[in-house]
Amino acid sequence: MVFGGVITTLLDQAGGAATLCSLLEIATVATLDLRIDYLRAAEPGRDLYGSAEVYKRTQSIAFVRGKAWDRDADDPFARCIATFMLGANPTEHPLKRLLAERKA
């Protein structure tokens, strides 16, 4: 049995990563809403994969859809719809700071 928390984390991270990749500059991102539809049980013992895409972005919100699968990307066991807030924390993103330090 694959626990729901694992699937939630996979899809939340995939959505956050897709959101970061859609930005021109690194910024903080926070999950505002995440709805997951479980379509079938994931097969225990199999590797789990997830992907997500930003289908609409405003100045402050990214709208994301994603899926998780084990055998075949065309047969997902879960799908999600999520919204992410851009620039959620006014402090500098740690990754941005690290990249700046590497350049120096």
- On average, the pLDDT of the chain sits at 92
CATH of the domain at 30: 3.10.129.10
pLDDT above 90 coverage of the chain, percent: 73
- Is pTM beyond 0.95? Reply is no
Q: What pLDDT, on the 0 to 100 scale, is given for residue 47?
A: 96
Checking if the pLDDT of 93 tops 80, the result is: no
Checking if the pLDDT of 90 tops 70, the result is: no
DSSP codes of every residue in 7-69: HHHHHHHHHHHHHHHT-SS---EEEEEEEEEE-SPPPTTS--EEEEEEEEE-SSEEEEEEEEE
Host domain of residue 30: 4-103
Checking if the pLDDT of 53 tops 70, the result is: yes
Distances in Å between the Cα of 74 and the Cα atoms of 8, 26, 70 are 19, 31, 10
- Mean pLDDT for 94-104 is 81
- Mean pLDDT for 10-31 is 94
Give the separation between CA 19 and CA 53, rounded to whole angstroms.
8
Domain count, the chain: 1
Residue type, 8: T
Chain centroid to Cα 52, Å, comes to 6
Going by C-alpha positions, the residue among 70, 95, 104, 90 that lies closest to residue 30 is 90
